[in-house]
Amino acid sequence: MFELEVEDHFSAAHSLRDYKGKCEKLHGHNWLVRLTLGGDALNGQGMLMDFHDARALLSRAIAEWDHANLNELEQFEVLNPTTENIAGIVCERIAAELPPAIAVRAVTVWETPGSCARYSPS
């Protein structure tokens, strides 16, 4: 099994619904997102996927969130804009664009340097 990882980031505001504490108020983060892809075989160039292409997939998946209030976006009208839900959405978006021989192994999202959530599809 081969794996590769790329990272990107976005800055956005959000507030957590049905939460009692500081995070129920509108606040922002500089999120760091790591995408881990995996597959059994390498292409003719000896790569699972070109890093440039993997990074482009990740950038497209998070582009609309940069400098946005996540609560105002359609995907978060009902879904709480938690770090866990962000990771799941990124995974779904990227998985839909991958060739069959490559799969998302995990998406890890840090909302602060010491706090992250990871989504790994089953």
Q: Is 67 a catalytic residue?
A: yes
- Catalytic residue, candidates 14, 29, 91, 111: 111
> Of 17, 34, 25, 56, whose CA–CA distance to 111 is shortest?
34
Give the pLDDT band of residue 79 (cuts 50, 70, 90): very high
Q: Is 29 a catalytic residue?
A: no
What average pLDDT does this structure show over 62-66?
Answer: 98
- Catalytic residue, candidates 23, 24, 72, 97: 23
- pTM for the full predicted model: 0.95
Instruction: List the beta strands (DSSP E) in the chain.
Output: 2-14, 27-39, 103-112, 115-119
* CATH fourth-level superfamily of 2-119: 6-pyruvoyl tetrahydropterin synthase/QueD (3.30.479.10)
Domain boundaries along the sequence of the chain: 2-119
Distances (CA, A) of 71 to 1, 3, 13, 78: 38, 33, 8, 9
Q: Is 111 a catalytic residue?
A: yes
Give the SS3 label for residue 64.
helix
pLDDT score for 122: 81
- Catalytic residue, candidates 24, 67, 72, 97: 67
